[in-house]
């Protein structure tokens, strides 16, 4: 990627900023709005639109992961499932959305499944879904981010978005994650 | 195990990195979809235009800035109020043309390009081209036809990022059918 | 005191939104026809007022009244036009119309990615917020019907 032989003052030479530069929520909302419309024009169905948004969210998530661990955790990684989830609920959410996620719950009947529930996630704040697209939830973008962060931190999982008590992110971990966690526990 | 969520942060603000990376994801997607820098530039400008015609309404609703008398007023409001409000930066207004119908915005820090390095072979990509569209769209809504383009870009090795605005003409209100 | 109806026009004269509350009598023409007449009149009054004014125009056209109703007008610099008809006892509603623009239109239409600007507003959210806001106005007190 880096170009050689050309005198460029690269952004990569700058150190990672510590602060949190902020932009107006309207700026983000309008940018996101264009993204939704762009994706919408290139797909035919609601699930396709959601997976397109998730894809872009993943792009953001992968890049955010490094920033997060370097800054929030002093280069250390999480290895325990539960502490990773709490990291997501607090550090990740705080960095990205300025506050903790509202709820984190485990499914009653499945140890692989966890839920993060938000009444009104940022990306949905300005969206009023038309009746013919009832199931559309643009927080698929956030789900994509989550998935990329989890996968990048070596907690392979599928994250999907659902309308339930607001917006519910369903995190379904890979078998291997659960097995590994049990192994760490037993040591 | 749900805990009471601590509520902090300003709900009117969004993390700048989320914004920067989201924009990055968009540009990356466009580059995948179009594979041609000029097309990407055009698409970015178009999206910017759409944002511009919306953001101006938000601006008018919030900024309470009075009417601008001339293009110099406009330049001032764009840099000191609008950029400040939406991107948290204040570009320097400079390089006025003698006739006062052209000026440049100099951006020392461009929040769109934190973390960005242009890949090899994309010399004609104007990564931040969305800004041109935004300015054009917003100004058009308040009856100003303005030409906006990048003349220097930090990402391309220039010392500074410079956006040039040229006033073309005043637009008139649409006349309803059957009137004149 | 009460509110009869409300129109929202974009800069090209398209009626983006219309709602009525205590309007008892219909004009007997199609809504499209009515919107066109309304916009045409607003447009003409505006230019008439600007042209006839003996001094530089400050606020321009704000409202007019007949013996039955009062028509209030507010235009944003971006050419969005808001029209509200009320009964005669209602005072200046400029801040009300400004609120409709800045807190309802901008928040729920402009920032909603699923709306196309310049097209009729179909957002349920906007419709319900608008209705709630108008019904909550101190001068909105419909006579029991």
The predicted complex's ipTM stands at 0.88
State which residues form the domain around A101. Answer: 24-185
Judged by phi (left if over 0) then psi (alpha if -120 to 50, else beta), residue A166 lies in left
Sign (positive or negative) of CA dihedral A18, A11, A31, A167:
negative
Specify if B53 maps to a domain. yes
Residues of C within 8 A of B67 (CB-CB) are 77
pTM of the model: 0.85
In the block, tokens 């920033």 appear at A67
A178 inside domain: yes
- Per the listing, tokens 């609920």 go with A89
- Say yes or no for a CB contact (<8 Å) between B57 and C110: yes
Which residues constitute the domain of residue B159? 14-170
Q: Which of residues 88-117 of C touch A (CB under 8 A)?
A: 107-108, 111-114
pLDDT band of residue B178 (cuts 50, 70, 90) is low
Q: With contact defined as beta carbons under 8 Å apart, do B117 and A11 qualify?
A: yes
Instruction: Identify whether A9 is part of a domain.
Output: no
Tell me the chain A residues in contact with residue B2 when contact means C-beta distances shorter than 8 Å: 102-105
What is the spatial distance between Cα A164 and Cα A140, in angstroms, rounded to a whole number? 14
Number of domains composing chain A:
1
| C114 contact residues in A (CB cutoff 8 A) | 36, 127-130, 133
The tokens describing B79, both together, are 């840099």
Whether residue B99 lies inside any domain: the answer is yes
What b-and-e string marks burial along A154-186, b requiring 16 or more CB atoms within 10 Å of the CB? ebebebbbeeeeebbbbbebeeebeebbeeeee
**Where is B40: in which H helix or E strand?**
helix B37-63
Whether B180 is covered by a domain: the verdict is no
- CA angle B35/B36/B38 to nearest 5° reads 150
Asked if A96 and B18 touch (Cβ cutoff 8 Å), the reply is yes
- Other Cβ atoms less than 10 A from the Cβ of A39: the count is 23
Q: Is residue A7 part of a domain?
A: no
A12-69 pLDDT, tens digit each: 555 555 555 788 989 998 999 899 989 988 998 999 999 999 999 999 999 888 888 7
CATH number at residue A92: 3.30.1380.20
- What CATH number labels C3-135? 3.30.450.70
Q: What is the mean pLDDT of residues B27-32?
A: 94
Domains held by chain B: number: 1
Residue B56, in any domain of the structure: yes
All partners of chain A with 3 or more CB pairs under 8 angstroms: B, C
Q: How many CB pairs under 8 A join A and C?
A: 33
Q: What residues are paired with C70 via a beta bridge?
A: C65, C86
Asked whether residue A5 is assigned to any structural domain, the reply reads no
Query: Does residue B88 belong to any structural domain of this protein?
Result: yes
B9-22 average pLDDT score: 84
Query: What is the C-alpha to C-alpha distance for residues B108 and B44, in angstroms, rounded to an integer?
Result: 21
Confidence of residue A7 (pLDDT cuts 50, 70, 90): very low
- Kindly state the percentage of chain C with pLDDT values over 90: 61
Question: Touching check for A2 and chain C: CB below 8 Å?
Answer: no
Task: Compute the half-sphere exposure of residue A182: CA atoms within 13 Å on the CB side of its CA.
Answer: 7
Find the helix or strand (DSSP H, E) in which C5 lies.
strand C3-9
Residue B103 lies inside a defined structural domain of this protein: yes
Place of tokens 């009964």: C87
Per-residue model confidence (pLDDT) at position C31:
92
| Residue B116 in tokens | 């960005």
- pLDDT band at B132; cut points 50, 70, 90: very high
CATH label of the domain that carries residue B67 = 3.30.1380.20
pLDDT of residue A11: 59
Q: What's the pLDDT score for residue A117? A: 93
């Amino acid at each position: 990627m880096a170009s050689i032989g050309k005198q460029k003052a690269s952004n990569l030479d700058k150190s990672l900023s510590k602060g949190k530069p902020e932009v107006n929520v309207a700026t983000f909302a309008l940018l996101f709005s264009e993204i939704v419309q762009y994706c919408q024009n290139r797909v035919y169905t609601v699930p396709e639109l959601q997976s397109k948004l998730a894809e872009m969210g993943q792009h953001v998530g992968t890049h955010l992961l490094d920033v997060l661990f370097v800054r929030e955790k002093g280069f250390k990684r999480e290895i325990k499932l539960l502490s990773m989830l709490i990291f997501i609920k607090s550090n990740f959410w705080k960095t990205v959305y300025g506050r903790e996620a509202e709820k984190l719950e485990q499914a009653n009947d499945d140890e692989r499944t966890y839920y993060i529930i938000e009444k009104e996630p940022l990306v949905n704040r300005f969206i009023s879904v038309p009746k013919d697209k009832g199931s559309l939830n643009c927080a698929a973008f956030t789900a994509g981010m989550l998935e990329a962060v989890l996968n990048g931190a070596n907690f392979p999982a599928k994250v999907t978005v659902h309308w339930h008590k607001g917006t519910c992110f369903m995190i379904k971990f890979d078998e291997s994650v659960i097995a590994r966690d049990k192994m760490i526990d037993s040591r | 195990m749900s805990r009471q969520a601590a509520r902090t942060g300003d709900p009117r603000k969004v993390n700048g990195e989320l914004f920067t990376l989201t924009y990055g994801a968009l540009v990356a997607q466009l580059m995948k979809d179009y594979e041609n820098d000029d097309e990407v530039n055009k698409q970015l400008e178009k999206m910017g235009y759409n944002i511009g015609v919306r953001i101006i309404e938000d601006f008018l609703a919030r900024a309470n800035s009075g009417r601008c008398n001339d293009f110099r007023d406009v330049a001032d409001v764009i840099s000191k109020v609008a950029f400040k409000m939406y991107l948290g930066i204040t570009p320097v207004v400079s390089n006025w043309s003698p006739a006062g119908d052209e000026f440049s915005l100099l951006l020392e820090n461009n929040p769109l390009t934190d973390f960005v390095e242009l890949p090899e072979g994309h010399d004609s990509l104007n990564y931040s081209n969305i800004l041109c569209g935004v300015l054009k769209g917003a100004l058009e809504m308040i009856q100003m036809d303005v030409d906006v383009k990048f003349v220097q870009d930090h990402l391309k090795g220039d010392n500074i990022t410079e956006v040039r605005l040229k006033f073309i003409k005043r637009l008139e209100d649409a006349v309803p059918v059957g009137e004149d | 005191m009460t509110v009869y109806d409300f129109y929202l026009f974009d800069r090209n004269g398209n009626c983006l939104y219309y709602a009525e509350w205590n309007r008892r009598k219909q004009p007997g023409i199609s809504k499209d026809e009515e919107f066109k007449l309304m916009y045409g009149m607003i447009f003409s009054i505006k230019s008439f007022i600007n042209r006839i004014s003996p001094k530089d125009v400050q606020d321009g056209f704000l409202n007019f009244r007949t013996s039955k109703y009062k028509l209030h007008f507010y235009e944003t610099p971006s050419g969005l036009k808001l029209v509200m008809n009320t009964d005669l006892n209602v005072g200046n509603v400029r801040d009300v119309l400004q609120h409709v623009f800045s807190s309802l239109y901008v928040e729920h239409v402009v920032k909603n990615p699923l709306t196309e600007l310049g097209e009729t507003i179909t957002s349920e959210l906007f419709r319900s917020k608008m209705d709630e806001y108008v019904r909550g106005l101190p001068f909105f007190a419909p006579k029991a019907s």
